Amino acid sequence: MSLDNPQRSYLMMEDADLVRKAQQGDILAFEQLVFRHDKKVLSIAARYVTSADDAKDIYQEVFLRVYRGLKKFRFRSEFSTWVHRITVNVCLTHRSRRRRTMQTLLLDDRDEDGEAHGEIRDPAGGPDNLAVDADIASRIERALGVLSPKQRMVFTLRHFEGYRLGEIAQMMDCMEGTVKRYLFTATRRMRDQLKDAV
């Protein structure tokens, strides 16, 4: 029997096998699960909030909840769907918590007139492109800011992350028709907000 690096064998395992091992206290199996899903969790969080610090907070909260809830995972859905559902819930909770302390959830570093001063890096673009990109990003963030938390989440998952409606319904634990309604309303409101920007 080869004494190969144990982490290498985890790379070949299915999520379900890793979950079973992690449920028995195998920390390497849990680390492999995090490694497989952390980019998607961070991507959803970063699209949903506008601050890198907020996205990291959401990321940490998601995997803390995953770790705490892992023993109760019963394989009724794919592990990835379960993780993404937790991500959606943490994002929505974060959003409602932030709304209590902030009037809107827009780009960082706005002055009292609401002007954005956040930096958007575009290594290929010069100062003119940077200014245009910053203006477009600012308008999109303002438009996203008028959506309800669930509308914003559906819009983010569909248009930024590319999920199908059925997948979003699973993540949000609701009917596909509800997701369609959220998406329709969100798209209409975004169009109204951005009509003078295009």
Show the tokens assigned to 130: 């940077």
pTM over 0.85? The answer is no
Per-residue pLDDT in tens (0 to 9) along the chain, 198 residues: 444 566 678 888 999 999 999 999 999 999 999 999 999 999 999 988 878 888 999 999 999 999 999 999 999 999 999 999 999 999 988 866 555 433 332 333 333 333 333 333 333 444 444 455 566 667 778 888 889 999 999 999 998 888 999 999 999 999 999 999 999 999 898 888 887 755
- Using CA atoms, how far apart are residues 144 and 190, in angstroms rounded to an integer? 7
Query: If one looks up domain 1-102 in CATH, what number appears?
Result: 1.10.1740.10
3-class SS letters over the chain = CCCCCHHHHHHCCCHHHHHHHHHCCCHHHHHHHHHHHHHHHHHHHHHHCCCHHHHHHHHHHHHHHHHHHHHHCCCCCCHHHHHHHHHHHHHHHHHHHHHHHCCCCCCCCECCCCCECCCCCCCCCCHHHHHHHHHHHHHHHHHHHCCCHHHHHHHHHHHHCCCCHHHHHHHHCCCHHHHHHHHHHHHHHHHHHHCCCC
pLDDT score for 90:
93
User: What is the pLDDT at residue 159?
Assistant: 86
Q: According to the model, what pLDDT value does residue 149 have?
A: 92
* Domain definitions of the chain by residue range: 1-102
